[in-house]
């Protein structure tokens, strides 16, 4: 990133008293100020709660690294809080004079970012009132621009996501809409396509001729914690597969997009999502889930979801992709592993493990390559070795947080890391296909690897695509 | 290696008082005793010098790691010294009773290894007298077997190497003849073929479609030291290119040999050597070389040799191979680097360096892969990163010395790491082609990278093959 300031803008943050704002968004804004990217700006936070604006900011302090008073002061001087009920249209009209005053006071030119960090069911209502009150400049993509940022989940199924897209696309151009998935802001995720396309050795191997299987895993150790109310209506399939995991799949499996523009990348990702064929599914629920706070005692919500799927195109014909994610598992780890085909044995040189290229996204950012090497002094044995490239080791611990990267992208108008309408809908179609089949829900022990049935997923597939 | 004993055998070591015996062979025998590989054996050392046998062994003590008195005692109890003039036939007849006595005393069954650690000009004479005195069982490849080990250089040019091969092949089968090149005993060299053929990700890339150029370098910081007399008659082309470097080239460039048998590997290496087309040559001599001890003051011997060559087959069509080696250079390093083709720039993502797979043979054994990765927080830059696999880090510092591995191979009768007659002759043909062209000899400063003319070698080639 260059050291020059971004364009001026006003953030209007819906859900300013929520957890996301506290832990991620306000610290990310602080960091952009510190990095001298955010120079001319102001923030109006809104939420239902009547609360002093200083209190809101104070809550974020523990989440700021390398606190500096002068940076903090800049944030405080540019932050305004306006309590409002999102369902009262008049409140939006009252918000207008504040917006005008803040923009005048901070010499802003009218660029606005509307950030929806609220419960997803409020998205349509807030958007509708914003339009009616003329707080947003619809169809304005150039100066002054208006951009809308929606947190996930975007819709609850194919129908609701389509309805929301249709509603938004009538009022706004797709260039104004930023559907966020914070996984796409993570350094290593941004690096998957770059690693593949800037390294001459990877792309020739990135297909069915060389790859045996692809494994995408997001393993969590936590349960639903305080999110039981929201979570119980979604479950792992709709909360994790629909968003993060299908995006990781799309990024990993996409065709070469040519130049890495937002348009090209999103075309390539949508093509993958539209070619997914679900082959087998294992759903699970951890023991004790029904006793969690805010969870229905008779809940049939999945807290574990594993898929075997195929991508019905020439590149991936016959290569199984395994997507596995769950809560209360034995380890916290997010990885993408491309497992290469085995080689035939050369006399006694029989590699025990196939080669693999592994992107570790959590807890350690890094790229790993599993190879085989001769064991010294042995003439007969080959052992697996791992070459690694630790991101934080090489580039230092100052890797930006996902939200810092994503907010910077919004201000700069770069949509490459945001999800387009057709991608969201394709993802929901995949998820609905699974949800509608009523797969058996298998119980599993906490701190385990998931349901024992998971093993069946790795047996030869039922139907070859 | 298993822990069981090798077959019993008697070593007859010609040149027992020389540097190679002192520094490498005796310590290697010690190590094989320590490792319980060499259990039933005896050693008869011979050389011109009348000297006490204990003195010879004492000289090797400083070169033994982790000295243990009980192992040393076993070596002392099995070592005999017999001073002789290699040019006196009667001496060989006098050697016979000693051999018989030692074999009887140590319960040996008649397996014999004749090790030629002498000046190469003595090879034919010693071999002839051994045959005449019936000290060697010609044509005996099974029990009891006779094996002959010849140090490099094997011949001085195509004609002399052919003559020596013809002479040996009349008396012995090729299975009895072990032409040694200690580079082939190094762990990493043995690993080149294994790395390629046991890793599914390398073999598909190992050709002209993906590789831009191959660079094989043996850089030395030392000069000729005390070897001026020998060296001045050979020079870098005949001393290093003919042996080590053309072998590294052959191992790197060979077609897949199928099963990794000695027969297959040596066929594949010979095919490479017979397909070499020399494209350009830069010879050099370091400043001050003519003043070195035992060197002709008007010497035109090369102490630096760099080649650009092509391999005239379908796999390597148009790919330049650079072989560079010299004395008194700025660093001590032996590497094989396969440099991959560049990728086209993706918007601003322009990798500055191409991918490379690097085998470091000296000073640090290891395999390196140079890749590109996104620089964190930068949206526009890609930086080269290196994944490495350090051999000694993973497998510990107990990697066997080359001679230990090679002596074990001789006792076990494994010829994979030894050079076959046709390989030697093909190498000499390549070297003679260059030697006969009388290339200009460029002076170069000590502790430099070689002659400035070296740069010209990397310009587009004169003739595409």
Write out pLDDT tens, residues A386-445.
777 666 555 655 567 889 999 999 999 999 999 999 999 999 999 999 999 999 999 999
Using the beta-carbon criterion (under 8 Å), do B195 and A369 form an inter-chain contact?
Answer: no
pLDDT at A465 (0 to 100): 41
A294: alpha, beta or left? (left if phi > 0; alpha if psi -120 to 50):
left
Q: Best of B6, B34, B36, B199 to disrupt the A interface by mutation (most A CBs within 10 Å)?
A: B199
Using the beta-carbon criterion (under 8 Å), do A205 and B205 form an inter-chain contact?
Answer: yes
Q: Can you tell me the distance from the alpha carbon of B60 to that of A452, in angstroms, rounded to the nearest whole number? A: 62
Select from B205, B388, B391 the Cβ nearest to the Cβ of A376.
B391
B371, closest residue in chain A (CA to CA): A199
Mean predicted confidence (pLDDT) in A290-305: 97
Q: Can you tell me the distance from the alpha carbon of B213 to that of B210, in angstroms, rounded to the nearest whole number? A: 9
Using the beta-carbon criterion (under 8 Å), do B377 and A398 form an inter-chain contact?
Answer: yes
Using the beta-carbon criterion (under 8 Å), do B377 and A391 form an inter-chain contact?
Answer: no
Q: Which has more pLDDT, A141 or A368? A: A368
Using the beta-carbon criterion (under 8 Å), do A200 and B386 form an inter-chain contact?
Answer: no
Nearest-CA distance B403 → chain A (Å): 12
And the tokens for A126?
């807030």
A187, closest residue in chain B (CA to CA): B376
pLDDT in tens, B103-154: 999 999 999 999 999 988 899 999 999 999 999 877 766 789 999 999 999 9
Select from A209, A372, A380 the Cβ nearest to the Cβ of B199.
A372
Q: Which has more pLDDT, B259 or A165? A: A165
Mean predicted confidence (pLDDT) in B340-363: 83
Catalytic residues of A: 244
Q: Which has more pLDDT, B218 or B360? A: B218
Select from B191, B201, B349 the Cβ nearest to the Cβ of A374.
B191
What average pLDDT is seen over chain B?
91
Active site residue B244: yes
Distances (CA, A) of A3 to B375, B378, B455: 15, 11, 39
Nearest-CA distance A98 → chain B (Å): 34
pLDDT at B2 (0 to 100): 46
Q: Are B1 and A378 in contact (CB under 8 A)?
A: yes
Using the beta-carbon criterion (under 8 Å), do A198 and B351 form an inter-chain contact?
Answer: yes
Distances (CA, A) of B221 to B225, B296, B334, B446: 11, 21, 11, 9
Bridge-based pairing of strands A441-444 and A276-286 is parallel
A399, closest residue in chain B (CA to CA): B376
Using the beta-carbon criterion (under 8 Å), do A1 and B382 form an inter-chain contact?
Answer: no
Token pair 């007859």 is found at: B12
pLDDT at B373 (0 to 100): 79
Q: Can you tell me the distance from the alpha carbon of B208 to that of A422, in angstroms, rounded to the nearest whole number? A: 41
Q: What is the DSSP letter of A329?
A: B
Residue A241: count other Cβ atoms within 10 Å of its Cβ. Answer: 26
pLDDT at B462 (0 to 100): 56
Q: Best of A1, A31, A190, A201 to disrupt the B interface by mutation (most B CBs within 10 Å)?
A: A201
Mean predicted confidence (pLDDT) in A196-217: 94
Using the beta-carbon criterion (under 8 Å), do A201 and B386 form an inter-chain contact?
Answer: no
pLDDT at B99 (0 to 100): 97
And the tokens for A138?
């619809």
* Residues in CB range of B19: below 8 A, 6 or more apart: none
Q: Best of A365, A374, A393, A411 to disrupt the B interface by mutation (most B CBs within 10 Å)?
A: A374
pLDDT in tens, A45-104: 999 999 999 999 999 999 999 999 999 999 999 999 999 999 999 999 999 999 999 999
Distances (CA, A) of A103 to A26, A31, A116, A148, B329: 19, 22, 20, 18, 67
Q: Best of B197, B376, B404 to disrupt the A interface by mutation (most A CBs within 10 Å)?
A: B376
Q: Is the pLDDT of residue B179 over 70?
A: yes
pLDDT at B415 (0 to 100): 95
Q: Is the pLDDT of residue B347 over 80?
A: no
Chain B residues with CB-CB distance to A195 below 8 A: 371-374
Residue A209: count other Cβ atoms within 10 Å of its Cβ. Answer: 12
Q: How high is the ipTM of this complex?
A: 0.84
Distance of CA B442 to the CA centre of its chain: 27
A349, closest residue in chain B (CA to CA): B198
Q: Is the pLDDT of residue B190 over 80?
A: no
- Which of these ranges, A351-360, B138-147, B425-434, has the smallest mean pLDDT? B138-147
Chain A residues with CB-CB distance to B194 below 8 A: 346, 349, 372-374, 382
Q: What is the pTM of this model?
A: 0.89
Q: Can you tell me the distance from the alpha carbon of B110 to that of B12, in angstroms, rounded to the nearest whole number? A: 12
Q: Is the pLDDT of residue A13 over 50?
A: yes
Select from B1, B195, B210 the Cβ nearest to the Cβ of A204.
B210
Helices B262-273 and B421-435 cross at an angle (nearest 10°) of: 20
- At A1, the pLDDT band (50, 70, 90 cuts) reads very low
pLDDT in tens, A99-138: 999 999 999 999 999 999 998 889 999 999 999 999 987 7
């Amino acid at each position: 990133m260059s050291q020059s300031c971004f364009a001026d803008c006003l953030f209007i943050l819906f859900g300013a008293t929520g957890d996301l704002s506290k832990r991620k968004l306000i610290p990310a804004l602080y960091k952009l100020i510190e990095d001298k990217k955010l120079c001319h700006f102001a923030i109006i936070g809104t939420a239902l709660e009547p609360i002093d604006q200083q209190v809101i900011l104070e809550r974020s302090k523990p989440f700021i690294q390398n606190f500096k008073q002068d940076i903090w002061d800049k944030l405080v001087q540019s932050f305004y809080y306006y309590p409002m009920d999102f369902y009262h249209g008049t409140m939006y009209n009252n918000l207008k004079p504040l917006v005008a005053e803040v923009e005048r006071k901070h010499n802003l030119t009218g660029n606005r970012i509307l950030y929806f960090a609220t419960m997803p069911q409020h998205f349509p209502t807030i958007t509708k009132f914003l339009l009616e009150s003329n707080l947003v400049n619809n169809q304005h993509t150039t100066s002054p621009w208006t951009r809308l940022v929606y947190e996930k989940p975007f819709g609850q199924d194919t129908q609701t996501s389509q309805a929301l897209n249709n509603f938004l696309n009538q009022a706004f151009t797709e260039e104004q809409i930023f559907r966020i998935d914070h996984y796409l802001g993570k350094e290593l995720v941004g690096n998957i396509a770059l690693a593949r396309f800037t390294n001459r050795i990877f792309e020739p191997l990135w297909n069915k001729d060389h790859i045996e299987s692809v494994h995408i895993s997001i393993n969590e150790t936590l349960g639903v914690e305080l999110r039981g109310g929201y979570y119980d209506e979604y479950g792992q399939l709709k909360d994790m597969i629909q968003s993060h995991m299908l995006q990781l799949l799309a990024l990993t499996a996409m065709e070469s997009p040519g130049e890495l523009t937002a348009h090209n990348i999103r075309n390539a990702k949508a093509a993958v999502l539209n070619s997914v064929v679900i082959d087998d599914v294992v759903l699970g629920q951890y023991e004790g889930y029904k006793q969690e706070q805010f969870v229905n005692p008779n809940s049939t919500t999945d807290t574990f979801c594993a898929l075997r799927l195929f991508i019905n195109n020439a590149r991936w014909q016959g290569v199984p992709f395994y997507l596995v994610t769950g809560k209360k598992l034995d380890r916290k780890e997010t990885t993408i592993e491309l497992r290469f085909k085995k080689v035939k044995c050369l006399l006694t040189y029989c590699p025990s493990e196939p080669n693999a290229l592994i992107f570790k996204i959590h807890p350690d950012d890094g790229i790993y390559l599993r190879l085989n090497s001769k064991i010294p002094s042995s003439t007969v044995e080959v052992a697996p070795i791992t070459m690694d490239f630790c991101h934080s080791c090489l580039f230092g611990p100052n890797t930006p947080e996902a939200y810092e990267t994503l907010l910077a992208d919004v201000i700069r108008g770069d949509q490459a890391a945001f999800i387009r309408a057709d991608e969201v809908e394709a993802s929901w179609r995949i998820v609905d296909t699974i949800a509608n089949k009523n797969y058996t829900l298998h119980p599993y022990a906490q701190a385990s690897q998931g349901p024992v049935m998971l093993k069946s997923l790795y047996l030869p597939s039922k139907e070859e695509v």
